[in-house]
Chains A and B, each alone.
Chain A
């Protein structure tokens, strides 16, 4: 079996609220799978069931395997092979960088001498080598995030579970973290992440699962599901005062129109049809671009907010 993670028919509810409904997915070893979805779609809950942070609903059909271990009954075996980067930062702020890592070395049962060497390597890898004695309270948000990532790597995990690893970080740090995660992936580590950043999924993932209202709505390689499910180009009409002037040029047979309030989006794979619309417009009245995962995401999960967002 070459799948790091195999989950079938996963259900989870909190009282009357259903968080996860009949989710099935597999992650081949050494690949990256990414869960996308609005807040409350059930992404984090899926992650939590994999390492014993959430008990799935008892369901006869459900099967779960992480490296062949069932997280429902073999939580410790799963966690010994897994690194977890939770959504919230949870470092001990009064301790320094090295002390924070030493505490987790104890959790993993690493011997002191080996632990020291491992900490050296990981601080080097996460480019925190010169911060070893700094109090965590004094670190920037980006450094704290990198430290949590280093902490999740202490036990040389074969699977890394990342719950919104780059939320709230600046672009430089985000790109650094992406580079590190790609590096890890190319070393054979399986990555499983949730994210709100479409580009993150695009950069890292071999397989994207879009969730909405507890269910999986789309799955596939990011570029494949993009090509198969959304038009290739879009014109975002930003100056709506020009809309009446071009309204009759919008060919509804080849153009899908979406009104988002402040903009009108015209999706089409027929570039000449879009050209007809924009021919009448000034350059700054619209934005023409290729469609991306965000367009697909909006198409799959709707533009309106749900009650949890």
Chain B
């Protein structure tokens, strides 16, 4: 029995809309070589399995996992090295010329230092703060919500904690690099002796880690990227003025002084000056303790909080 009108019925659908003819799957199967399902994958041919494959499905160790997250950030940053590495040199340059030389003429010595030296030693760690805060707020949010970078990474053998720790290490690296570029500028102008600046990048690293942890913690709450404006206008930018960078906090009114003492940047600035002027006191033990505690607390909080954004 045949129905000619049925046989001639127009097949108007495109494959996209999903109307497969019966048996099309079968034809495809026939076109392919038969492979036993029970055959282990290791015995199948290239390109999917190399007899000489050296890694054999072992997950890399902890340090390597953090390193590979860090390496990804380095590679992406280095891709635009010219545009990325100019600002860290230009910013301190402009600041020292504009404020230090211009305004400095009218300013008396600070804590017994010429103003330009006071300023130069202060801004050693502020660019580290700004860059790591940006990296772990806007940068992290973009990687999380827009570019979906973490979603890709988490398909590879790294855990969410590894990814977050990699971010923190990267924030520290940027802090180190940005402080190093301030060191170069300050040394090039002969504002401070090179030997005095040797330890500054280390404090820059600590500063980067500190603000990386804090910013990741903030980022874990943020639903739309514009909310970071509150963090920057309300916290990071004011800190620049109340942490002893441009004037000594000891001169602040007694009501304001404790606030300044609570800010993370205050301790980084005081510590870096101690190294630069080789002038240590008991207060710097407090600074180191503060920084260590701050990193511990906000590092742990950001790991716990941000994991819930990475893993459903």
Q: CB within 8 Å of B: which residues of A?
A: 2, 12, 14, 28-31, 45, 48, 51-55, 75-77, 79-86, 88-95, 99, 102-104, 106-111, 114, 118, 121-122, 124-125, 148, 151-153, 155-156, 158, 161, 171, 174-175, 182-184, 186-189, 197-200, 202-203, 222-223, 271-272, 275, 278, 283-284, 286-290, 292-294
Contacts and interface: CB of A to CB of B under 8 A. Distances in A.
Given A95-B76, A197-B18, A293-B18, A158 B46 contact: no
Given A125-B47, A289-B19, A54 B28 contact: no
Contacts of B1: 272
B25 to A, nearest CB: 5
B223 interface: no
Nearest to B14: A171
A77 B71 contact: no
B227 interface: no
Contacts of A95: 75-76, 79
A88 B50 CA distance: 29
A108 B157 contact: yes
Given A45-B312, A155-B55, A171-B14, A109 B60 contact: yes
A271 B22 CA distance: 16
Contacts of A86: 148, 151-152, 155
B228 to A, nearest CB: 22
Contact of A103 (B21, B39, B71, B312): B71
Nearest to A288: B9
A29 B12 CA distance: 38
Given A106-B68, A184-B48, A202-B20, A156 B53 contact: yes
15 contacts: A29-B41, A30-B36, A30-B38, A45-B312, A76-B157, A79-B155, A90-B151, A91-B152, A104-B156, A106-B68, A161-B155, A189-B41, A197-B16, A199-B19, A202-B20
Given A55-B312, A95-B75, A187-B49, A90 B152 contact: yes
B54 A111 contact: yes
Nearest to B21: A290
A167 to B, nearest CB: 11
Contacts, number: 222
Contact of A158 (B10, B41, B155): B41
Interface string B75-93: 1100110000000000000
Contacts of B71: 103, 106
A108 B21 CA distance: 41
Interface of B: 1, 3, 5-6, 8-12, 14-16, 18-22, 24-25, 28, 32-41, 43-50, 53-55, 57-60, 64-65, 67-68, 71-72, 75-76, 79-80, 147-149, 151-160, 311-312
A118 B54 CA distance: 11
Contact of B153 (A30, A107, A124, A158): A107
A287 B32 CA distance: 33
B56 to A, nearest CB: 9
A284 to B, nearest CB: 8
A62 B153 CA distance: 27
A189 B48 contact: yes
A171 B155 contact: no
Contacts of B39: 30, 188
Contact of B76 (A14, A92, A153, A161): A92
Contact of B35 (A30, A110, A203, A222): A30
Given A30-B35, A152-B155, A199-B19, A55 B311 contact: yes
A188 B48 CA distance: 9
Interface centre among B16, B18, B68, B154 (most CB of A within 10 A): B18
A187 B25 contact: no
A124 B46 CA distance: 12
A70 B138 CA distance: 35
A234 to B, nearest CB: 10
A223 B22 CA distance: 8
B15 A54 contact: no
A74 B79 CA distance: 35
Contacts of A174: 15-16
Contacts of B16: 171, 174, 197
A114 B54 contact: yes
Nearest to A159: B41
Question: Of A75, A106, A200, A275, which is in contact with the most chain B CB atoms at under 10 Å from its CB?
Answer: A106
Given A30-B39, A189-B48, A182 B20 contact: no
A77 B32 contact: no
B9 A283 contact: yes
Contacts of A289: 9, 11, 19
A287 B10 contact: yes
Nearest to B143: A90
Given A86-B152, A182-B28, A187-B35, A48 B22 contact: no
List the 7 closest A-B pairs by CB distance, nearest first.
Answer: A84-B155, A109-B60, A107-B156, A54-B312, A90-B148, A198-B18, A90-B152
Q: Which of A31, A53, A103, A197: most chain B CB closer than 10 A? A: A103
A109 B55 contact: yes
Contacts of A175: 15
B44 A187 contact: yes
Q: Which of B45, B59, B148 has the most CB of A within 10 A?
A: B59
